[in-house]
């Protein structure tokens, strides 16, 4: 369980989060929507200690990571997989090397076991046989899938997705959505998915929250969100409804 309490974050005079409260329950798939610049990526970075808040608590399994030292933070981070907004693969490394990076760093596995795990994760994202390719040889959708394979390689308890479907065509985006659903069903992970793609939000989310003016302004199940007349939610739904026709 992740408990976020009274979180404040600013950059100089830009006040991004203003007392945000949010609990993320074990096994759920939580979607965070919010307009560009509302602080969604900042929130994810705060959750793994890549940024420090001015105020507030972020408890991961009851342990507050705010003010935690580097070593303790490293241990906490190992429980997380992170799929970045851009796939963020290392161009000079092969697909297999990218996927195995954290495994080699943190797990004392034999080379054979590492290679087995890499194959397993690539199979999960439907990329068998892509081990020796370089990122430059992959399409955008394939890069995203390698990013997912890398994020799951170390058996994380939590996976954070930052706009996993942005910039993909509808069919490729749907592949990624189904991958997120499969992760929830087949592995016992808790996921947090940041997106402004409402189709994706409704497909993968058990619960959807709207980040607005530095706080969680609205919270509900996909069914509840669809019916909401809240003006900020409407802005997202209008685009969604138009895309349906
Ligand atoms: N490292 C940083 N230094 C200074 N300002 C930052 C930094 N990171 C984020 N910001 C600012 O914080 C605000 C929130 O940024 P964030 O990236 O979280 O937005 P977002 O909701 O993820 O937007 P998008 O949907 O466009 O990705 C923005 O105004 C941004 O300029
Ligand atoms: Mg962002």
pLDDT in tens, 130-150: 999 999 999 888 999 999 999
pLDDT of residue 241: 64
The pick from 7, 11, 18, 213 for probing ligand 1's pocket by mutation, whose C-beta has the most ligand atoms within 8 angstroms, reads 11
Give me the domain span that covers residue 154.
2-243
Q: Which helix (H) or strand (E) holds 59?
A: strand 55-60
The SS3 call for residue 27 is coil
The pick from 32, 33, 42 for probing ligand 1's pocket by mutation, whose C-beta has the most ligand atoms within 8 angstroms, reads 42
Ligand 1 centre to CA of 36 (Å) is: 8
Q: Which long-range contacts (CB under 8 A, 24 or more apart) does 168-176 make?
A: 168/140, 168/141, 168/144, 169/141, 172/139, 172/140, 172/141, 172/144, 173/197, 173/199, 173/200, 174/203, 175/126, 175/141, 175/145, 176/141, 176/144, 176/145, 176/148, 176/200
Question: In this prediction, what percent of the chain has a pLDDT beyond 70?
Answer: 98
Q: Which residues of 211-244 are buried (b: 16+ CB within 10 A; e: fewer)?
A: bbebbbebebebeebeebeeebbeebbeeeeeee
| Structural domain count of the chain | 1
Tell me the ligand closest to 47's alpha carbon: 1
pLDDT of residue 115: 96
Q: Which helix (H) or strand (E) holds 174?
A: helix 170-186
> Ligand 1: does its nearest atom lie under 6 Å from the Cβ of 67?
no
Per-residue pLDDT band for 200 (boundaries 50, 70, 90) equals very high
pLDDT at 201 over 90: yes
pLDDT of residue 107: 87
Q: What is the mean pLDDT of the chain?
A: 92
> Tokens representing 161?
């997705």
CB atoms near residue 26 (< 10 Å): 12
Q: What is the CATH number of the domain that holds 147?
A: 3.40.50.300
Burial class (CB in 10 A: 0-12, 13-18, 19+), 13: exposed
Nearest CA to ligand 1 atom 19: 37
Tell me the ligand closest to 32's alpha carbon: 1
Render pLDDT for 74-112 as a digit per residue (tens, 0 to 9).
999 999 999 987 778 999 999 999 999 999 988 889 999
Per-residue pLDDT band for 187 (boundaries 50, 70, 90) equals confident
> Ligand 1: does its nearest atom lie under 6 Å from the Cβ of 167?
no
Ligand 2 centre to CA of 196 (Å) is: 10
Tell me the ligand closest to 38's alpha carbon: 1
* Mean pLDDT along residues 48-77: 94
Cβ–Cβ under 8 Å, residues 43 and 192: no
> Ligand 1: does its nearest atom lie under 6 Å from the Cβ of 38?
yes
> Ligand 1: does its nearest atom lie under 6 Å from the Cβ of 11?
yes
């Amino acid at each position: 369980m992740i408990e976020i309490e009274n979180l404040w974050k600013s950059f100089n005079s830009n006040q991004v989060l203003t007392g945000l409260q949010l609990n993320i329950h074990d096994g759920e798939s939580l979607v965070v929507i919010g307009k560009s610049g509302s602080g969604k990526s900042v929130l994810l970075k705060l959750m793994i200690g890549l940024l420090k808040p001015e105020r507030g608590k972020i408890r991961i399994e009851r342990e507050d990571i705010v003010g935690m030292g580097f070593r303790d933070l490293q241990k906490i981070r190992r429980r997380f997989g992170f799929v970045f907004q851009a796939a963020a693969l290392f161009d000079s490394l092969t697909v297999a090397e990218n996927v195995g990076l954290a495994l080699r760093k943190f797990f004392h596995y034999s080379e054979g076991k590492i290679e087995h795990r890499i194959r397993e994760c690539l199979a999960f994202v439907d990329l068998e046989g892509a081990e020796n390719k370089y990122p430059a040889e992959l399409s955008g959708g394939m890069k995203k899938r390698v990013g997912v394979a890398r994020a799951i390689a170390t058996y994380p308890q939590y996976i954070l997705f930052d706009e996993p479907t942005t910039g993909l065509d509808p069919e490729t985006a749907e592949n990624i959505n189904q991958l997120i659903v499969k992760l929830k069903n087949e592995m016992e992970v808790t996921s947090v998915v940041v997106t402004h793609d409402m189709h994706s939000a409704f497909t993968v989310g058990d619960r959807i929250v709207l980040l607005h003016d530095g706080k969680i302004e609205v919270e509900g199940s996909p069914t509840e969100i669809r019916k909401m007349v809240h003006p900020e939610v409407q802005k997202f739904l209008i685009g969604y409804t138009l895309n349906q026709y």
